[in-house]
C-alpha cells in the first residue's frame, strides 16, 4: 500500500513567519494530493489540494507544491497567524501522514 511520510512532526513559528511541511510518498499511481487542517477537538478539514497536472496551487496565504520526480509535496503557509495553530495532515490515496503540530507564537 501507499506509504506517506510527513515532516516535521512539530513546527513552532513566530507570527508573520512562514511554515513549510513536507510529505514524501512511494506510489506514483495517484494523481491527487490533499492537505487537511485539524484544530484541537475538531474534525479534519480539507484546506487545499493539488492534482498531478500542475506543480503549484495557491489559495491566499496557503500553497501546495508538487515535485513528482522526487515524489514529495509540500504545504506552505505564509504570514502565519495564531489561528493557523493546528495539526496539519497530508494524504495520498487512503493513507494519511502522521501530522505536523504547528504552533504560531505571537
Q: Scanning residues 27 to 56, which ones bind another protein (CB under 8 A)? A: 30-32, 34, 36, 42-46, 49, 51-52
Question: How many whole angstroms separate alpha carbon 71 and alpha carbon 90?
Answer: 13
Q: Pattern 61-90, binding to another protein, x per CB under 8 A?
A: ----------------------------x-
> In whole angstroms, how close is the CB of 46 to another protein at the nearest point?
4
Contact predicate 73/2, CB 8 Å = no
Residue 62 contacts residue 90 (beta carbons within 8 Å): no
The distance of closest approach from Cβ of residue 11 to another protein in the complex, given in angstroms and rounded to an integer, is: 15
Cell of 9: 512532526
Nearest approach, Cβ of residue 62 and another protein (Å): 14
Amino acid at each position: 500500500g501507499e506509504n506517506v511520510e510527513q515532516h516535521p512532526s512539530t513546527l513552532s513559528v513566530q507570527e508573520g513567519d512562514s511554515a513549510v511541511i513536507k510529505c514524501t510518498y512511494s506510489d506514483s499511481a495517484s494523481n491527487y494530493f490533499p492537505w487537511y487542517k485539524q484544530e484541537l477537538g475538531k474534525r479534519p478539514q480539507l484546506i487545499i489540494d493539488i492534482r498531478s497536472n500542475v506543480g503549484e496551487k495557491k489559495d491566499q496565504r496557503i500553497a501546495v507544491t508538487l515535485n513528482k520526480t522526487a515524489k514529495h509535496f509540500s504545504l506552505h503557509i505564509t504570514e502565519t497567524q495564531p489561528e493557523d495553530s493546528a495539526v496539519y495532515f497530508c494524504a495520498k490515496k487512503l493513507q494519511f501522514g502522521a501530522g505536523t503540530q504547528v504552533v504560531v507564537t505571537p
